[in-house]
């Protein structure tokens, strides 16, 4: 039974992380950073900045996850949160699928709020050397939380109620989360213009939300089979 539970936990965490991975927020943030560095410093520094940005986001999100887990244990609300976990995931699935049929940036789906976007854009465009990507990533990790807090919080709630190695699953979740950042950095490194990535995002943003919604429904189905 324990092994079956671990396998189910792994698949559920994978599904939630995949939702976070296809979230259009991360694509937009990474492209803005690389665009600024390509213009000011060139492609080599853009790659370095992309790597530093990605590593910093990974560390910050890992710290957020550990902090929220500790808060849940301190407050002793594991059972309460477990009770609303499936409702939270179902609501997110509905929002993402609605975004496919009736897309409106920053409101109906799990995207960065419109009020945060000028702050993120200003910070990212101000990057003039690769090392500035680190403090900018710290700021953006906070601004990205509205995009990713739903899937990430769901994963943390799930982990708080299972007898598994929490740190392993958090490391695993966040590795999946940053895969688009790694991919975009590599794509730009091979010569693709950051603007081309942004155009692809704009053309397929509705489909990305649909994929996220389908993945969330799959996660809901897995949890309902417990």
So where are the chain's domains?
2-224
- Count of C-beta atoms within a 10 Å radius of residue 79: 9
Record the tokens describing residue 90, joined without a space. Answer: 């179902």
pLDDT band at 222 (very low <50, low <70, confident <90, very high): confident
- CB-neighbour burial class of residue 103 (10 A; exposed 0-12, middle 13-18, buried 19+): middle
Question: Mind listing the pLDDT tens digit for each residue in 180-208?
Answer: 889 888 888 787 777 787 788 778 888 88
Task: Check whether 1 has a pLDDT greater than 50.
Answer: no
**Whole-number average pLDDT of the chain:** 81
Residue 32's pLDDT band, with cuts at 50, 70 and 90, is: confident
Mean pLDDT of 63-67: 92
Tell me how far apart the alpha carbons of residues 42 and 69 are, in angstroms, rounded to a whole number: 41
Between 21-30, 70-79, 116-125, 150-159, the lowest mean confidence (pLDDT) is in 116-125
Three-state SS at 60: helix
Residue-wise pLDDT for 75-102, tens only, equals 888 888 888 888 888 988 888 888 888 8
Q: Which two tokens stand for residue 187?
A: 């794509």
Given a contact cutoff of 8 angstroms between Cβ atoms, the answer to whether 165 and 13 are in contact is: no
Interhelix angle for 145-160 vs 24-40, to 10°? 130
Interior/surface letters 147-163, b for 16+ CB within 10 angstroms, e for the rest:
bbebbbbbbbbbbbbbe
172: left (phi over 0), alpha (psi -120 to 50) or beta: alpha
Which comes out higher in pLDDT, residue 152 or 144?
152
């Amino acid at each position: 039974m324990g092994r079956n539970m671990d396998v189910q936990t792994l698949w559920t965490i994978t599904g939630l992380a995949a939702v976070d991975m296809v979230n259009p927020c991360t694509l937009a943030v990474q492209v803005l950073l690389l665009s600024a560095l390509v213009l000011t410093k060139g492609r080599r520094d853009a790659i370095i900045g992309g790597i530093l940005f990605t590593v910093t986001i990974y560390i910050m999100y890992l710290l957020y996850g550990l902090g929220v887990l500790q808060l849940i244990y301190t407050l002793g609300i594991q059972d309460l949160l477990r009770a609303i976990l499936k409702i939270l995931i179902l609501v997110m699935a509905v929002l993402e699928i609605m975004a496919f049929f009736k897309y409106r940036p920053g409101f109906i789906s799990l995207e960065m709020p419109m009020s945060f976007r000028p702050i993120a854009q200003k910070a990212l465009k101000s990057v003039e050397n690769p090392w500035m990507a680190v403090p900018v990533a710290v700021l953006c990790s906070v601004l990205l939380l509205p995009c990713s807090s739903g899937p990430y919080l769901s994963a943390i709630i799930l982990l708080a109620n299972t007898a598994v190695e929490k740190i392993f699953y958090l490391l695993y979740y966040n590795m999946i989360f940053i895969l688009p950042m790694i991919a975009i950095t590599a794509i730009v490194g091979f010569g693709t213009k950051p603007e081309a990535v942004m155009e692809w995002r704009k053309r397929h943003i509705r489909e990305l939300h649909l994929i996220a919604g389908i993945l969330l429904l799959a996660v809901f189905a897995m949890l309902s089979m417990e």
